[in-house]
Structure 1
Amino acid sequence: MTDDPTPTDDRTPTTDPPAGRPPAPPAGRAATPGPAAGRPAPLSVAPPPAPRRPTAPPRHPTDRRRPDRLAGRITRGGDGPCYALVTDDGHEYALHGPGLGTVATGSTVVVTVDPAAPPPACGPGTPVGVVRISVVR
């Protein structure tokens, strides 16, 4: 036996690194400083700036409407080909669409129109040709 107070054998780990190699980093830490492999660097810990409150309402609509779509209530329905539609803003349209079937008066609809094709007169309102009509309720 030796005079060393801590006995060692093959099963006892040592804290000295093997000769010629640098010491290993502690368990759970990377050998180099910085983000772990595969992880992005952390962002700033400061909170993002709060958005400023608007000082006035927008000058232009923020939601763009499709020019070929109308939505409203049918005021003159039937078997077609002529129908009448009034939008929420009170604008009246004279719809013409052969072969679209029966649409009940009072139905809420979304209409795809073809403003390029001049339809025949179907009563009062702005005349438009109907490509498709979908009953919402």
Structure 2
Amino acid sequence: MADQQPPAGRPSRSRVPLPTLGPPTGPPRRPTDAHRANALAGRITRGGDGPCYGLLTDDGREYALHGAGKGTFTVGTTVRVTIGPADPAVDCGPGTPATIVDISPVG
């Protein structure tokens, strides 16, 4: 039987193993998902037309948010919020105080 050559224009099949990645040497040095510290998402627990709102995040953190003219949000609405430093002259109830920079409903 003659040596079998691949047809013209086709590569031959090689029996050389393909390269593979080795096992990881440890966890990533930096988080692989970027997370902004001033961006929150959760459900409104104290709503209305403001300026005070309550927010409960999915990880169980409670925030007391303040923002005049930011809109009307009913209890249970899921929102995304960008926060800034709290105004020390304002008390919006229980939770970590913060000022609303931007707030919008999700969904």
TM-score by length of 2: 0.72
In the alignment, the residues of structure 2 paired with residue 92 and residue 119 of structure 1 have an alpha-carbon distance, to the nearest angstrom, of: 19
Task: Identify unmatched segments of 5+ residues in structure 1.
Answer: 1-44
Contact 1:96/1:119 (<8 A) preserved: no
RMSD, aligned CA: 2.7
Conserved? CA contact 1:118–1:129, under 8 Å: no
Instruction: Say if 1:53 and 1:74 are closer, same or farther in 2 by CA, change over 3 A.
Output: farther
Indicate whether 1:111 and 2:52 are aligned: no
The amino acid that maps onto 1:62 is T
| Correspondence for 2:7 | none
Give the match for residue 91 of structure 1: 61
Q: Please point out which of 56, 74, 80 is paired with 2:50.
A: 80
Q: Which has the higher strand share?
A: 2
Q: How does 1:22-61 map to 2 (within 5 A)?
A: 49-54=19-24, 61=31
User: CA distance change for structure 1 residues 105 and 116 in 2, over 3 Å: closer, same or farther?
Assistant: closer
Letter in 2 for 1:91: R
Give the counterpart letter for 2:32 in structure 1. Answer: T
Q: 1:68 aligns with which of 27, 38, 49?
A: 38
Q: Which runs of 5+ in 2 are unaligned?
A: 1-13
Check whether the contact 1:69–1:113 (CA below 8 A) recurs between aligned residues. Answer: yes
Inter-CA distance 123–117: structure 2 relative to 1 (3 Å threshold)? closer
2:43–2:78 CA contact under 8 A, matched in 1: yes
Using the size of structure 1 for normalisation, the TM-score is 0.57
Report the CA distance between 1:87 and its aligned residue: 0.7
Return the offset for 1:98.
0.3
Q: CA deviation at 1:56?
A: 6.6
Larger Rg: 1
Task: Report the alpha carbon displacement of residue 52 of structure 1 after superposing the two structures with TM.
Answer: 3.4
State the secondary structure of the residue aligned to 1:63.
coil
Structure 2 contact 86–97 (Cα < 8 Å) conserved: no
- CA distance 1:47–1:84, change in 2 (3 Å): farther
